[in-house]
């Protein structure tokens, strides 16, 4: 028996316990241990039935994801025979009861479904989340789940990857009973009830597999939804095909079909990228000089300065996490407007089924609108979200310094300003930090946490932890202009504009990047955010422009014409009353005219050039940021782009994507652009170095982790 699996007995009931912390993944040794235990149970005449349970806080969170990278890189064989192990469980003549708490995810649910019965605590969750890793269930999950839950539910769970609660699992017969109280005792009692009775094999239960006529619309609708919700991703479509195989083929052949699709997905670039994202999302929480045991500042009440779009969204984020929030504005009209927007947003969430009306009522009660600073002295954290201007921010921070209690965190939501300059307005720069939310702040997952020179480790650790609590993914960045995300987005959007000035149509630029996988094209994003935002910033920072460097002209000219984007009904596109974008021939005409006036020769531009210029502009700037230390790791940049800028997860983020293309190739292309377009395309020294050494950004991260 392996150390990872223990076999004990409670009189006539055998108990198999998996102990592979933290999440009981099915790492090498676990399946073998389970197989051995099943064999012993089969041979032991004193055992009538068995319970299989997870030690610690969870049942089994699935296969060991770390093993996948070893398999695809050839350093480990795909030797763990999950499917035969599951058959051994199912063929055991004594009933095996799977006792679920925490999660039964992926291989964990597949393991549970091979048992003869499943019991669960009400707080447990079960799911087949493999598509979120770019793969599909690979241990007969697509074959057993429809046999338990029916075809429609199985397709939904395998294609979307979202878990279901124990209550829902009971409704769909994925579990047989909910156990209130002690799970092991309940499961053992259940095992005694079923001992001696025939053990039902899931793989032989065909009654829910439906008919071709009934199933056809289910699969058609699922494919349609996958094309929309998971555009460009292969795994959801593969998962649907695998479940379809369950309805058309005998179990064994269905499993073979699933295996083929699983292997195709596993060896794809998409899966490698998404596994990189899975570990990356956890890696960004690790800050080398802020140890895990850094004391945290308890944050039980928050105050937000500003009830505009950002202030309101930030307020909602805290309220949603059950943290009471004071929201301050300077005049009643603005405060009322802020509150009414919050109410409207909550109403939409109720309509969409995201929140219940009761949840919303409770959240609204946690928000206290105010015109004064009264109560700020009690707040554990203040987030400033006033208009973007240094003088105003300094004034607010000076006031906060006077009011806030010692130890309170003082955060600014600035997206462009220097956090150290803001901190200078206080006598406690160690309490000051940037918390750069993304709009809409109550929805977007990204939170850039901007470390000032003096920000204390306690303040950093608390903000990182708090980001999780409010459902965000916090990424620590350094204090440079635009921080990480916007600093890279500048060159990306600049190239998009240059391409339009050089002859690519606005629609062609957007289409190329949308087809690459971006949630929206760069022109449409500009129109959504408001072209005037960048215009104002460019005017303010005109003195910082590099002499002789080409500057985009079109967007400023559009703004001069009052075309700010969606809000004025026209920008790069025209907009109808439903804010639907309509290509505008006038813009095409103006672009030709402005190009001619500026001496820019227009030409045919390929989709490939559009993608390379925009994406490599991100990569080149990302490499500079990395080398300058404003991002801790390349993967941090990837996580920022995936969660804040609509970068497709299946490409792993801009830096991972560059690694998959090959840095030498990326570097060569950037040199080509440098020769053609000059100044902006100077290759980043780190990119050159890594390309010369035949390395990747991932190697840079590894070296950094190793302390090199
Ligand atoms: C699969 O099962 C394929 C099958 O069909 C079979 C094919 C043959 N493996 O998230 P946390 C680590 S595919 C390895 O911070 P939480 C994680 O990296 C799998 N490691 O905790 C972290 O490590 P570290 C399908 C794993 O409480 C630590 O555990 N299953 C795995 O917020 C704690 O994790 C999934 O996709 C794993 N499977 O959330 C489930 N899972 O501390 C993936 C976790 O060094 N896992 N780790 O950074 C999850 O969704 C969450 O981890 C879970 C816990 C909800 C379980």
Which residue, judged by its Cα, is nearest atom 9 of ligand 1?
A: 64
Query: Three-state SS string across 576-624, please?
Result: CCCCCEECCHHHHHHHHHHHHHCCCCCCCCCHHHHHHHHHHHHHHHHHH
User: Ligand 1 — pocket residues by CB below 6 A?
Assistant: 22-23, 25, 61-66, 82, 103, 105-107, 110, 129-130, 133, 137-139, 141, 282
Residue 79 has pLDDT above 70, yes or no: no
Query: Using one digit for the tens of pLDDT, what is the confidence trace for 323-369?
Result: 999 999 999 999 999 999 999 999 999 999 999 999 999 999 999 99
In this prediction, residues 301-320 reach a mean pLDDT of 96
Distance CA 227, CA 604 (A): 30
Pick the closest to residue 382 from 319, 327, 304 (CA basis): 304
Give 289: exposed, middle or buried? Use CB within 10 Å, 0-12, 13-18, 19+: exposed
Q: Which strands make up the sheet holding 125-127, listed edge to edge?
A: 103-105, 125-127, 164-165
215-245 confidence digits (pLDDT tens):
999 999 999 999 999 999 999 999 999 999 9
Q: Measure CA 547 to chain center.
A: 40
Strand partners, 448: 436, 475
Ligand 1 atom with the smallest distance to the CA of 82 is: 8
Distance CA 653, CA 677 (A): 25
User: Which of 21, 22, 23, 279 most suits a substitution to test ligand 1, by most atoms within 8 Å of the C-beta?
Assistant: 23
- For atom 54 of ligand 1, the residue with the nearest CA is 23
Q: Give residue 117 CA to ligand 1 midpoint distance, Å.
A: 24
Kindly give the distance from the C-alpha atom of residue 257 to the centroid of ligand 1, in angstroms, as a whole number.
26
DSSP 231-267: TT-SHHHHHHHHHHHHHHS-HHHHHHHHHHHHHHHHT
Q: Which atom of ligand 1 is nearest to the CA of 286?
A: 48
Q: Which atom of ligand 1 is nearest to the CA of 65?
A: 9
Name beta bridge partners: 120: 100, 178
Q: Which ligand 1 atom is at minimum distance from the Cα of 279?
A: 18
Could you tell me where the DSSP H helices lie in 440-530? 457-469, 485-501, 506-516, 522-529
Cα gap 167→264, rounded to integer Å? 34
Tokens 């006529």 correspond to 213
Question: Which tens digits make up the pLDDT trace of 13-28?
Answer: 999 999 999 999 999 9
- Residue 22 · residue 59 · CB < 8 Å: no
Q: What is the tens place of the pLDDT at every residue in 408-432? A: 999 999 998 999 999 999 999 999 9
Each as own residue / partner, the long-range contacts of residues 588-592 (CB below 8 Å, 24 or more positions apart, any chain) are 588/505, 588/506, 590/554, 590/557, 591/500, 591/501, 591/506, 591/554
Identify the band that residue 204 occupies on the pLDDT scale cut at 50, 70 and 90: very high
Distance between Cα 278 and ligand 1 center (Å)? 8
Residues 450 and 417: their CA atoms lie apart, in Å, by 11
Nearest-CA residue for ligand 1 atom 40 is 61
At 562, is the pLDDT very low, low, confident or very high (cuts 50, 70, 90)?
A: very high
Supply the pLDDT for residue 162.
97
The pLDDT value recorded for residue 377 is 97
Which protein residue has the closest C-alpha to ligand 1 atom 56?
Answer: 61
* Span from the CA of 61 to the centroid of ligand 1 (angstroms): 6
* Residue-level pLDDT at 706: 86
Q: How far is the CA of 85 from the centre of ligand 1 (A)?
A: 21
Do 325 and 366 meet the contact criterion of CB atoms below 8 Å apart?
Answer: yes
How big, in percent rounded to 5, are the helix, strand and coil portions of the chain? 55, 10, 35
C-alpha distances (whole Å) from 96 to each of 16, 116, 611 are: 10, 5, 54
Q: Which two tokens stand for residue 420?
A: 């150290």
Q: Relative to the CA of 68, which ligand 1 atom is closest?
A: 13
- The pair of three-digit structure tokens given for residue 385, joined into one six-digit string: 């979200």
Report whether pLDDT(283) > 90: yes
Confidence tier at 81 by pLDDT (50, 70, 90): confident
Q: Strands 49-54, 13-18: parallel, antiparallel or unpaired by DSSP?
A: parallel
| Residue among 18, 62, 108 whose CB has most ligand 1 atoms within 8 A, to mutate | 62
Is the separation of the CB atoms in 468 and 344 below 8 Å? no
662 close to 521: Cβ distance less than 8 angstroms: no
Structure tokens at 88: 């051994």
Q: For 23-54, what is each residue's pLDDT tens digit? A: 999 999 999 999 999 999 999 999 999 999 99
Find the largest Cα–Cα distance for the chain.
93
The b/e string for 78-113 (b: 16+ C-beta within 10 A; e otherwise) is bebebbebbbbbbebebbbbbbbbbbbbbbbbbbbb
Ranges assigned E (strand) in 507-568: none
In this structure, the number of other CB atoms found within 10 A of the CB of residue 670 comes to 26
How far apart, in whole angstroms, are the C-alpha atoms of residue 104 and residue 169? Answer: 11
Pairing of strands 446-450, 432-437: antiparallel
Look up 110 and say whether it is catalytic: yes
Nearest CA to ligand 1 atom 11: 282
Structural contact between residues 622 and 637, judged by C-beta atoms closer than 8 angstroms: yes
Condensed to tens digits (0 to 9), the pLDDT of residues 104-132 reads 999 999 999 999 999 999 999 999 999 99
Atom 24 of ligand 1, residue of closest alpha carbon:
282
Residue with tokens 């309220």: 319
CB 115 within 8 A of CB 96: yes
Catalytically annotated residue among 130, 329, 495, 507: 130
Q: Pick the atom of ligand 1 nearest to 57's CA.
A: 27
476 CA → ligand 1 middle, Å: 23
Which of 24, 65, 238 should be mutated for ligand 1, with most atoms under 8 A from CB? 65
pLDDT of residue 543: 79
Per-residue confidence (pLDDT) for residue 539, from 0 to 100? 81
As a whole number of angstroms, the distance between CA 151 and CA 146 comes to 5
String of DSSP letters for 634-647:
HHHHHHHHHHHS--
Q: What is the b/e burial string over 613-644, where b = at least 16 CB atoms within 10 angstroms of the residue's CB?
A: bbbbbbbbbbbbbbbeebbbbbbbbbbbbbbb
What is the chain's length?
A: 708
Distance in Å, CA 706 to ligand 1 centroid? 23
The 10 Å Cβ neighbour count of residue 353 is 7
Q: Residue 128: which H helix or E strand, with range? A: none
How many CA atoms, within 13 angstroms, populate the side-chain half-sphere of residue 607? 10
If one residue of 20, 31, 61 were mutated to test the ligand 1 pocket, choosing by the most ligand atoms within 8 A of its CB, it would be 61
What is the C-alpha separation between 532 and 186, in angstroms, rounded? 63
| Catalytic residue (choose from 48, 90, 110, 156) | 110
What does the pLDDT look like over 599-627, one tens digit per residue? Answer: 999 999 999 999 999 999 999 999 999 99
* Residue in 685, 574, 578, 581 with CA at minimum distance from that of residue 624: 685
Q: Cα of 132 to ligand 1 centre, how many Å?
A: 11
Residue 80 pLDDT > 60: no
**Residue labelled with tokens 């990278």:** 69
Residue located nearest, by CA, to atom 28 of ligand 1? 22
The structure tokens listed for 555 are 């967007």
Reported as a pLDDT band with limits 50, 70 and 90, residue 388 is confident
User: What is the Å distance from ligand 1's center to 242 Cα?
Assistant: 23
**Are 126 and 174 spatial neighbours (Cβ–Cβ below 8 Å)?**
yes
Q: Tell me what pLDDT residue 1 has.
A: 59
Is residue 130 annotated as a catalytic residue, yes or no? yes
CA of 58 to the centre of ligand 1 (A): 11
State the Cα torsion 680-683-687-692 to the nearest 10°: 170
Residue nearest to atom 49 of ligand 1 (CA): 61
Structure-token pair, residue 277:
């994202």
- Ligand 1 midpoint to CA 280 (Å): 12
Beta bridge partners of residue 7, listed in sequence order: 16
621-670 residue pLDDT tens: 999 999 999 999 999 999 999 999 999 999 999 999 999 999 999 999 99
Closest residue to atom 45 of ligand 1, CA basis? 282
Q: In what order do the strands lie in the sheet with 96-100?
A: 5-10, 13-18, 49-54, 96-100, 117-120, 177-178
pLDDT value, residue 708: 59
Answer whether the bond into residue 676 is a cis peptide, omega within 30°.
no
Nearest ligand 1 atom to alpha carbon 83: 8
CB distance 642 to 681 below 8 Å: no
Q: Return the closest-CA partner of residue 268 out of 130, 162, 84.
A: 130
How many Å apart are CA 113 and CA 126, to the nearest integer? 11
The residues that bridge with 474 in the sheet, in sequence order, are 447
Confidence bin at 537 (pLDDT 50/70/90): confident
Q: How far is CA 240 from CA 161, 198, 236, 532, in A?
A: 11, 32, 6, 45
Q: What is the mean pLDDT of residues 194-203?
A: 94
Nearest to 105 by CA among 32, 153, 177, 162: 162
Which tokens is 356 given? 């219940």
Question: Per-residue confidence at 433, pLDDT binned at 50, 70, 90?
Answer: very high
From the centroid of its chain, how far is CA 49? 42
Neighbouring residues of 34: CB distance < 8 A, sequence distance ≥ 6: 5, 16, 18, 52, 85, 89, 111
Contact of 673 with 687, CB cutoff 8 Å:
no
Ligand 1 atom with the shortest distance to the CA of 62: 2
């Amino acid at each position: 028996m392996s150390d990872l699996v223990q076999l004990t007995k409670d009189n006539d009931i055998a108990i198999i316990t998996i102990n592979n912390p933290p999440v009981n993944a099915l790492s090498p040794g676990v399946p073998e241990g389970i197989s051995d235990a099943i064999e012993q149970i089969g041979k032991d005449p004193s055992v009538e039935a068995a319970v299989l349970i997870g030690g610690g806080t969870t049942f089994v969170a699935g296969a060991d994801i770390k093993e996948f990278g070893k398999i695809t890189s050839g350093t480990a064989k795909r030797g763990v025979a999950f499917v035969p192990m599951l058959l051994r469980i199912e063929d055991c003549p004594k009933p095996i009861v799977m006792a679920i708490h925490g999660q039964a995810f992926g291989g964990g649910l597949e393991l549970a479904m091979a048992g003869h019965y499943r019991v669960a605590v009400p707080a447990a969750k079960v799911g087949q989340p493999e598509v979120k890793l770019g793969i599909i269930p690979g241990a007969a999950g697509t074959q057993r789940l429809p046999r338990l839950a029916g075809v429609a539910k199985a397709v939904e769970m395998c294609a979307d990857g979202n878990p279901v609660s124990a209550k829902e699992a009971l409704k769909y017969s994925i579990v047989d009973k909910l156990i209130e109280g002690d799970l092991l005792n309940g499961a053992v009692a259940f095992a005694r009830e079923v001992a001696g009775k025939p053990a039902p094999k899931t793989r032989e239960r065909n009654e829910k597999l439906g008919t071709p006529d009934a199933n056809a619309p289910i699969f058609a609708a699922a494919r349609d939804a996958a094309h929309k919700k998971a555009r460009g991703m292969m795994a959801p479509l593969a998962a649907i095909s695998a479940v379809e195989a369950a309805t058309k083929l005998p179990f064994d052949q269905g499993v073979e079909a699933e295996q083929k699709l699983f292997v195709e997905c596993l060896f794809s670039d998409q899966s490698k990228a998404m596994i990189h994202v899975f570990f990356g999302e956890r890696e960004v929480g690790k800050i080398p000089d802020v140890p895990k045991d850094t004391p945290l500042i308890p944050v039980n009440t928050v105050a937000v300065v500003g009830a505009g779009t950002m202030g309101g969204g930030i307020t909602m984020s805290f309220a949603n996490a059950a943290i009471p929030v004071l929201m301050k504005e300077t005049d009643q009209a603005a405060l009322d407007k802020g509150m009414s927007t919050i109410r409207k947003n909550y109403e939409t969430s109720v309509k969409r089924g995201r929140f219940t009306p009761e949840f919303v009522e409770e959240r609204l009660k946690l928000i206290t609108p105010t015109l004064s600073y009264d109560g700020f002295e009690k707040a554990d954290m203040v987030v400033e979200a006033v208009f973007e201007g240094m003088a105003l921010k300094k004034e607010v921070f000076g006031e906060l310094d006077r009011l806030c209690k010692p130890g309170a965190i003082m955060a600014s939501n600035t997206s462009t300003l220097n956090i150290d300059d803001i901190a200078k307005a206080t006598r406690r720069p160690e309490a000051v930090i940037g918390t750069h939310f993304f709009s809409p702040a109550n929805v977007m997952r990204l939170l850039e946490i901007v470390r000032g020179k003096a920000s204390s480790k306690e303040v950093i650790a608390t903000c990182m932890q708090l980001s999780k609590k409010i459902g965000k993914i916090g990424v620590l960045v350094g204090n440079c202009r635009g921080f990480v995300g916007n600093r890279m987005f500048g060159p990306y959007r600049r190239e998009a504009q240059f391409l339009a000035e050089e002859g690519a149509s606005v629609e062609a630029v957007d289409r190329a990047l949308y087809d690459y996988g971006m949630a929206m094209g760069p022109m449409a994003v500009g129109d959504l955010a408001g072209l005037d935002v960048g215009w104002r910033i460019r005017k303010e920072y005109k003195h910082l422009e590099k002499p002789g460097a080409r500057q985009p002209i079109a967007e400023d000219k559009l703004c001069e014409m009052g075309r700010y984007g969606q809000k004025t009904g026209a920008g790069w596109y025209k907009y109808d009353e439903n804010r639907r974008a309509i290509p505008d021939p006038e813009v095409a005409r103006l672009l030709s005219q402005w190009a001619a006036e500026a001496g820019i020769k227009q030409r045919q531009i390929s989709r490939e050039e559009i993608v390379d210029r925009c994406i490599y502009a991100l990569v080149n700037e990302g490499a500079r940021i990395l080398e300058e230390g404003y991002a801790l790791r390349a993967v941090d940049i990837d996580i920022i782009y995936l969660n804040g800028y609509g970068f497709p997860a299946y490409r792993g983020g801009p830096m991972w994507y560059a690694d998959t293309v090959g840095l030498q190739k990326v570097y060569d292309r950037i040199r080509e652009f440098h020769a053609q377009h000059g100044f902006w395309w100077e290759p980043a020294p780190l990119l050159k170095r890594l390309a010369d050494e035949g390395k990747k950004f991932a190697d840079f991260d590894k070296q950094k982790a190793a302390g090199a």
